[in-house]
Amino acid sequence: MNIKFANSAGMGLIMLGLLFSAGAAKAQDAAQIEKLRQGGKTCARCNLFQADLSYLDLPYRTLNGARLRQADLSLSTMNHSNFAAADLSVANMFGGRFTRASFINANLSQANLVGAYAGYADFTGADIKGACFSGANLEGARITQSQLNTACGDDSTVLPHGMSIPACQF
């Protein structure tokens, strides 16, 4: 197919339309969010983009491969939940409880974990670049020093024995 455009404005409108149609396919799934909020146990590979799950008690959830980018998990309790290979980038996890949660191969880049409790959580292979762990408790967590070197924290961040984390620069 050979299409010619009379001017660059026409091409710009076409490109803008393509951009919006591609973005619409990635919007959150309100039904999946509501199912989880109402106590659904499994939402693997769900689209929970920008979901508000704050203040909820949601332990033992299966969210592996879910898209939780920019989701609000602040002050939620999600102990023993499975976030393996989930996208939690730029998520707000402030003060959340994630005891023994699995973040294996998850994307937590730029996530806010200020004051979160992730004791004995598994961060094997997780991307935590730019994540803020100020005041967080990672006691007994399965995490490496090289991962911690890409994140930040403060003097009140509790880490596994012998590990350190760079100070956050705000």
In the chain, where the domains are located? 29-170
Which band of pLDDT confidence, cut at 50, 70 and 90, is reported for residue 170? confident
Contact predicate 105/125, CB 8 Å? yes
- For 61, 82, 128, the CA distances from 79, given in Å and listed in that order, are 8, 9, 19
Q: pTM of the predicted model, to two decimals?
A: 0.84
CATH fold label, 29-170: Pectate Lyase C-like (2.160.20)
Average pLDDT over residues 147-155: 98
Three-class secondary structure of residue 82 per DSSP: strand
Lookup: tokens for 53: 């799950």
Q: What is the DSSP string of 91-145?
A: -B-TT-B-TT-B-TT-B-TT-B-TT-B-TT-B-TT-B-TT-B-TT-B-TT-B--H
